[in-house]
Structure 1
Amino acid sequence: MATRHGHGDNHSRERFLQAALTVLLKQGVSGLTVRSVAEAAGTSTIGVYTRFGGRNGVLDALYERTFEMLHEKIRAVPPVSGDPATGILALAHAYRRFALDSPARYAFMFEQSVPGFDPDPDLRAFAQRSSFDLLVDRVAPVTPSGRDPNVTGYLIWTTMHGLVSVELTHRARNPPPKWFIETTDDAYDEVFGAGIRAMINGLDLELA
């Protein structure tokens, strides 16, 4: 999906977006400046201003692009025929892996990591369609009659998000004394899966 924000030809814009992603991955959100993006793209700051209008334009375009990437990651997870719970769990694991692949990217998408940056409502709606709505589509067929599948999806989504966010925090720091989870990917993956399964089971979804 082509980014809606900014001006100029698509090839040049793509080069700047790739540069912004590189800066985000290597320097974190604090490194996202017009100058750093221009340097990563091998051009002057004038090019960034021409195509995006400034730093906020770059951030808007990058926000949209990162949710496009998450959408592709989640959409690539097929439902499991006859086993919707496993399909939902597989989607959740894809979300976790996306977060672990780049904590800086995840923080940019889901935390207020850039002071003063607030994506416009259209971008927020796009982010919802690209991520949360895909989970709702998966849980809607197994949500009991009379319940709102958006609420069902929200409860699973927030469980996913909470478990991943805490894991990222612990991975970035030394674990507290006598921490009960081994600091290995397998150990956190097992706890993550147990948490999602517990939420699925607790919602009494019509899985049979």
Structure 2
Amino acid sequence: MRPADHGGRERYLDAALSVLVNRGVPGLTVRGVAEAAGASTLSVYARFGGRAGLLDALYERTFDSLRELLEGLPPSSQDGVADLLHLALEYRHFARESPTRYALMFERPVPGFDPDPALRSAVLRTTFTLFIARVQRVCLPGADARSVAYQLWTAIHGLVSAELLMASRRPLPDWFIPPTEEAHEQMYRDGVTAMITGLGLRNR
């Protein structure tokens, strides 16, 4: 791929991500992306082959964003548990920053869209290798860091997904978490910390 072509592709993906964040899934059409990019629908088809190819590329871009976030975290400190909690908090912020983007990554908001299996495997493996590396530093000797990381991620993901779901609907007056950012973050911190403790993760 020539540099000019790559730049053009990135322009369309930036437009697609903007459409996803600002208009939601209904606006995520070839026409909608072409309009956001200031181009024709034919140019979108020429680069991505259609909506399925565009969605695959956008799916990859969303995981690139998460990978870049993980790569941009401060270097590991002597307190590996604190580093892991910080990662979990940044993951929550990533999800809250754009629930629609997060849904494209981990749910099925686009009817009929199923990412290419090879692509899905590649982006998940690349992204979670960074997460596993943080977990491995605080695992018990002989523990399977991949399994432990998966268990911790499912807890993190569950807490985040439940929070996003509740935030997308009208607040319940008798819900056991007060409808404030502080209360939700504290509940999240407590849940992640409990899971870290339960998995036996500790500084060596």
- TM over 0.5, shorter chain: yes
1:132 touches 1:157 (CA, 8 Å); kept in 2?
no
Structure 2 counterpart of 1:159: 155
Report the Cα offset of residue 205 of structure 1.
2.0
The equivalent residue for 1:136 is: 132
Counterpart-to-counterpart distance in 2, 1:87 and 1:131: 17
Q: C-alpha offsets along residues 99-143 of structure 1, whole Å, 9 cap, x if unaligned?
A: 011011111111011111111122112221343221111111322
Structure 2 counterpart of 1:25, which letter?
V
Asked whether the 8 Å contact 2:25–2:100 carries over to 1, the reply is yes
Alignment of 1:169 with 2:165, yes or no, is yes
Q: Is the 8 A contact 1:68 1:130 kept in 2?
A: no
2:77 pairs with 1:81? yes
Letter in 1 for 2:21: L
Contact 2:81 2:138 in 1 (8 A): no
1:126 aligns to 2:126 (yes or no): no
Post-superposition offset of 1:20? 0.4
Q: Aligned pair 1:39/2:40, yes or no?
A: no
Partners of 1:30 and 1:127 lie apart in 2 by 25
8 Å CA contact 2:34–2:41 kept in 1: the answer is yes
Please say if 1:64 is aligned against 2:65.
Answer: no
Q: Which runs of 4+ in 1 moved over 4 A?
A: none
Question: Could you list the runs of 5+ residues in structure 2 that have no partner in the other structure?
Answer: none
Which of 26, 30, 44 in structure 2 is aligned with 1:30? 26
- 1:50 alignment counterpart: 46
The alpha-carbon deviation at position 176 of structure 1 amounts to 2.5
Match status 1:116 vs 2:123: no
Deviation by residue 1:27-84 (Cα, 9 ceiling, x = unmatched): 1122211111111111111001000000011001101111111111122112542211
Q: What TM-score, normalized to structure 2?
A: 0.93
CA distance in 2, matches of 1:132, 1:184: 30
Q: 1:120 & 1:40 partners in 2: Cα distance?
A: 25
Matched, 1:149 2:145: yes
Within the alignment, does 1:12 sit opposite 2:8 as a pair? yes
SS at match of 2:148: helix
Unaligned 5+ segments in structure 1 are: none
Q: Secondary structure of the residue that 2:137 maps to in structure 1? A: helix
Tell me the C-alpha RMSD between the 2 structures. Answer: 1.5
Q: 1:183 aligns with which of 179, 182, 185?
A: 179
| Corresponding residue of 2:199 | 203
TM-score (norm 1): 0.92
